[in-house]
Amino acid sequence: MSWPNFDGRVVVIAASGPSQREDDLALLQGEDVDVIAISETWRLAPWARCLYACDLDWWALREPAADAFDGQRLIGYGQRAGCTPCRVQPHAEMLWDGERLGGGANSGYQALNLAAVMGAARVVLTGFDCKGPGEHWHGRHAAPLRQTNALCVARWIEYFDAAAPVLAERGVEVLNATRDTALSCFPRASLPEAITI
């Protein structure tokens, strides 16, 4: 399986921060946008084009539930039947070779790298709160999945801050439509504004 083609498209990446809302994502259904749901957020947008989760343990825990997802399933680390591998390079900056993704220490960063390298004209972020450690709209992850801590969240922001000018130089417009976010490196917009070109 190959990576999805987003050439010239608006791509919404729906992460799992606590401000993520099902009614926000419902606004996207039927719109001319592609949605990448991050891990558990596929439950809020089961109609999304892609489901991305970097962690092999997440896939092991969530199957067969994630089997209900009809779109393309992408995995960052390792291999799993029914998933397209993305070969994430841990803690790397954005990669542009179309064969690997930069890690950025989180699935949202990796999905942003994926959308950018596969030709998205605009990427819209939602659910990228980047605030409290271990906080998600769905509550804390079950063991054996690791919980994030304050150091992890601070690192995420550093990686996004470093990626922002690189994305801009490459002509990838990124808008942050997250309701409540500590991420300040991308321009803010409401979700309806962000998906309108």
pLDDT digits (tens, 9 = 90+) for 63-113: 666 778 999 999 999 888 889 999 999 888 999 999 999 999 899 999 999
Extents of the domains making up the chain: 10-194
The answer to whether the beta carbons of residues 132 and 20 sit under 8 Å apart is no
- The model carries a pTM of 0.92
Which pLDDT score, from 0 to 100, does residue 148 have? 62
Edge-first strand listing for the sheet containing 84-85: 84-85, 72-75, 50-53, 34-38, 10-14, 122-126, 173-176
Which pLDDT score, from 0 to 100, does residue 79 have? 87
Model pLDDT for residues 17-41, shown as the tens digit of each residue: 999 999 999 999 999 999 999 999 9
**CATH level 3 topology of 10-194:** sialyltransferase cstii, chain A (3.90.1480)
How far, rounded to the nearest angstrom, does the alpha carbon of residue 111 sit from its chain's CA centroid? 4
Q: What is the mean pLDDT of residues 114-123?
A: 97
The answer to whether the beta carbons of residues 41 and 141 sit under 8 Å apart is no
The percentage of residues in the chain with a pLDDT greater than 90, rounded to a whole number, is 70
pLDDT above 70 for 137:
no
Q: According to DSSP H, which parts of 20-94 are helical?
A: 22-26, 56-62
